[in-house]
A and B are shown apart, each in its own frame.
Chain A
Amino acid sequence: MSERNPVSRFSRAIGRTWHPSPALLLIPGLLVILFLFLWPLGQMIYFSFTDPTVGFANYVRFFETPSEIRSLITTMEVSFLSTLICAIVGYLYSYTMLRSSKTVSNLLMVAVVLPMGVSILVRTFSLQAILRDTGIINQTLLNLGIIKQPLPLIRNSFAVAVGIVSMELPFMVLPMYNSMVQINNKLLLAGEGLGATPLRVFIDIFFPLSLPGVLAGSLIVFVSSLAYYIVPQLLGSGGQLFLSQDIAHWVQDQAEFGYGAAIGVILLLLTLGTLFIASFFINIDKALTQSTGGK
């Protein structure tokens, strides 16, 4: 212990050695999470069990109402569908990025990541302007005489899926591209050298090796799209609701906090349940770091 060490001077002053642990630096962050996240979350969970009566009444009510069950199924169905489409589109996009020159590859990366800087609300409104009956697609087709009536491109699950895929594509492409880039080209050459057709090489060597990225990306996208609110609100039909729209309706329009909180808890459990089941198949830590590009 040297004279220049302030800890040692302090320790000698109080008569015992005290080495502050670096873990103490976590305290400010933990306090923020505590007051801005955990406390409100705890209150909402509390409301769900006590407002208007103590007990499971809100949860029983949810599972006894057909329209709520429909919302639950719609949320899961449309999220699953969107994840599937996003996976296919994302895979094609990542593969293209892999097989292009460095410049094109960088351009494609920028093209998929840059829109994230624009607010999701603005992007959803512009999708609305594109897909609606009086929007660009329909008006062009009508004016060209290709169709006589506007195509039903909006206010249905198709539009919601388009919206979700459009917002979630970066989160799918990044982990996929990451895992594809790490595939050793020599393995593919070895396959060819042993006489496999390009198709066999893809199916037997490339695709299985890229699968971790596909699963990681799909998990992120699925779990994110369960919670979507703006996209189904602006692009969906008023009838098929997502759970998040349900919650907004009960809390804002009907002022029933307990019921809304209960639906929120159900959504939370759905999300955590999905992550839990997926953790048996995927390494969640790795999936999260890959989806943010390791940053």
Chain B
Amino acid sequence: MEVDSIPQQTQERAAQIESADLVVGVLADLGQDGLMNLCEGLRALPGLPRIVILRRDSASNTAAANAQSAQQEDTSLSLLPWSAVGPDPLGAPLQSISIACQSLFAATGKLGARACCFVASEMESASPQWVCQMLGPLLESDFDFVAPYYAPRMFQGFLNSGIVYPLTRCLYGKRINNPFGPDVGVSRKLAQKILGMNRNANAGTNQSHPLASLAPVAVCENLQICQVHVGARLYPPTDWTNMSSLVAQVMGPIFLEMERSAACWQRTRGSVPVPARGERQPQSQETGTVDLNRMVETFRLGVRDLQEIWSLVLPPATLLELRKLSRLAPEQVKMPDELWARIVYDFALAHRLRTINRDHLLRSMTPLYLAWVVSYARELETAGATSVEQRIERLSLAYEAAKPYLIARWRWPDRFNP
């Protein structure tokens, strides 16, 4: 798996390089200038580490990249093409990221590098200096997992705010704001653990997403974790026709990881902050129109037509509350945090028990998620942008308060069977 996941061309070039201190995988389109800036920033890192940059090889810029790589190569920095993710990761972005991540971890092991950094996003600030900031804790302080701390935005990163962050925080007891990255710094130790875990899981069908495994493995193995303020991330635009697929792609690996690390998270109570580095970025104002009615309509349609499926997953009390919510006027729809936390837990349990086909289960969660998004967005619209973090904190506390319910259902699913 390790060797297979490194493209042939990269393997040949890597064989010439033999070893490196750092491997940086650049999946984001930084542009020629951005890449030049990144190279300069990396050259300025203390201790002059030998760095290998793997850069996504798209059809349009292959020639340019090769020319630049020839120009840029010196003893301390090498630029290699990286075709493991294919030229266009837009079709299934999370799958491409998963493949790229595995390839990066494999390259890190093969080159004997101390750490690696995965660059998958574009930031609001043009300078890719944040990459160097993420590498700092890996090289100087021996951290194993460096997570990004994106500047909070009111209407962006809903899946992270509503599920990924509060769920990870509640389960593993560490307040990692963006546990799923995608821009992460990883030590070789952690990268090898993730690769080894996936190699073992290869025999079955339970191979999880490397990014989803990072935070749980780092916490459960008592590795050093920190987060770095990296500024505001530019999120890819929403493809509303593909919403359920996105929910399934994000939630599937998280639930799989939850199943794998059940013994670890069942022992954890409460949560503690993790050290943060860098300067907090101010929140920028968001503009645009939001059609919340469409999401409310999808939720109502779900309550009307998906009852049969939800009744296999959710307890009657939850179904009753959802029915009540669906009867309210669109502007009054507000899903309580406690209800949302329990819904997420019930779906996690149904995923574990394989109550129904897993893909059906995850996709059927979409109308519920949209109902939560409506409540959350409406609340923030009236409360103002400054209250984003307070709002997420309140939601996280609701997740933590409902954890005994999850543990009870997880341990004795039959007793609580809806």
Asked if A and B are interacting partners, one says no
